[in-house]
């Protein structure tokens, strides 16, 4: 029975080893990207590394992404990953600004509506 941190570190260490997965899907992500992304975000306590937004409930975890700093979707070493909320991810650079203005507009809008609800209910001290 592995603890969560042990399992997360195991999954992430595999991505940093010579045995890392190299087979990718049609979007260029490794086949177990969802698992790697979840494990990384979990090691960051589902907290944005830029603005400190923290997902408290499971339903809020969708507002956090794992960003590749060098934009290489196969480079999943921890030093290349960053846990970002949708808003911060959408403003990382020009590429992401353009990408989110087309395909990521709904998740971004959903997140901004969610953040406004939190502010209105004075729960912002998350």
Residue by residue, pLDDT tens for the chain (126 residues) are 445 788 888 889 888 888 777 889 999 999 999 999 999 999 999 999 999 999 999 999 999 999 999 999 999 999 999 999 999 999 999 989 888 887 778 888 999 999 988 877 654 444
* Cβ pair 37, 83 in contact under 8 A: no
* Tokens 């070493």, residue located: 77
User: E strands, 1-126, where?
Assistant: 64-68, 81-85
Prediction pTM value: 0.82
């Amino acid at each position: 029975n592995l603890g969560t941190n042990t399992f997360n570190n195991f999954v992430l260490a595999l991505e940093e080893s010579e045995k890392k997965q190299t087979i990718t899907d049609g979007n260029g992500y490794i086949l177990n990207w969802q698992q790697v992304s979840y494990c990384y975000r979990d090691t960051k306590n589902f907290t944005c590394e830029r603005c400190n937004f923290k997902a408290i409930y499971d339903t809020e975890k969708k507002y956090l992404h794992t960003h590749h700093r060098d934009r290489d979707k196969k480079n999943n070493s921890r030093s290349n990953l960053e846990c970002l909320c949708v808003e911060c991810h959408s403003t990382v650079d020009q590429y992401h600004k353009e990408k989110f203005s087309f395909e990521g507009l709904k998740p971004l809008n959903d997140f901004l509506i969610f953040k406004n609800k939190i502010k209105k209910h004075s729960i912002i001290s998350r």
